[in-house]
Amino acid sequence: MKRSNAAKKNESGFTFIEIIVVIVIIGIIAAIAVPKFVNLTGDAKKAAADGTIGAINSACSIAFAKHRASGTDTDDGTWIINAEKLATWLDGGYPEGVSGSGTTVKLQDGRTLTITPETKDNRAKVAVGSGS
C-alpha cells in the first residue's frame, strides 16, 4: 500500500541539515570552552621538565660511575661541576626550552635546578627549586 502525500507531510523529525548545524554549533562551543577549563600546556611543560630532571639525574649517575670505574680521583675536565659540564653528558645537550649557566639549570616549566658539583666520593646532585 502506498501512503498518501497528506500522511507524509504529518511525519516529524529533523532534517540532515538541521543535525549538521547542531553538530557544528556544539563543536564551536567546545573549541571555545575546553581550553579555558583544561590546562594541557602547563601539564605538558611539567611532564617535560620532570623527564628532564630524570635525564639529568641519570647523567650524573653515569658520569660518576664512569669516573669511579676508571679510577679518576681528580677532575680530568669531565666531572660534572657546573651546568655547562652537565650538558656535555646529555645526548644532544639540554632539551629545547632548558638552559644552564653556572650551577643553575632553568627547566621548561620555569623551575630551577641547583647543581652540587661532583667530587671523588659523590656524584653531582641536583636540587629542584621553585619556578615562575
Domain ranges for the chain:
40-128
> Which element (helix H / strand E) includes 105?
strand 104-106
Query: For 8-36, how does the pLDDT look when each residue is reduced to its tens digit (9 = 90+)?
Result: 566 678 899 999 999 999 999 988 888 77
CA distances from 83 to 22, 79, 120, 126 (A): 55, 11, 18, 10
State the DSSP code for 96.
T
Cell numbers representing residue 14 in the block: 529533523
Q: In which residue ranges of the chain is pLDDT below 50?
A: none
Residue 93 amino acid letter = G
pLDDT value, residue 73 = 81
pLDDT value, residue 131 = 66
pLDDT value, residue 48 = 92
Which residues lie across from 106 on neighbouring strands?
A: 99, 112
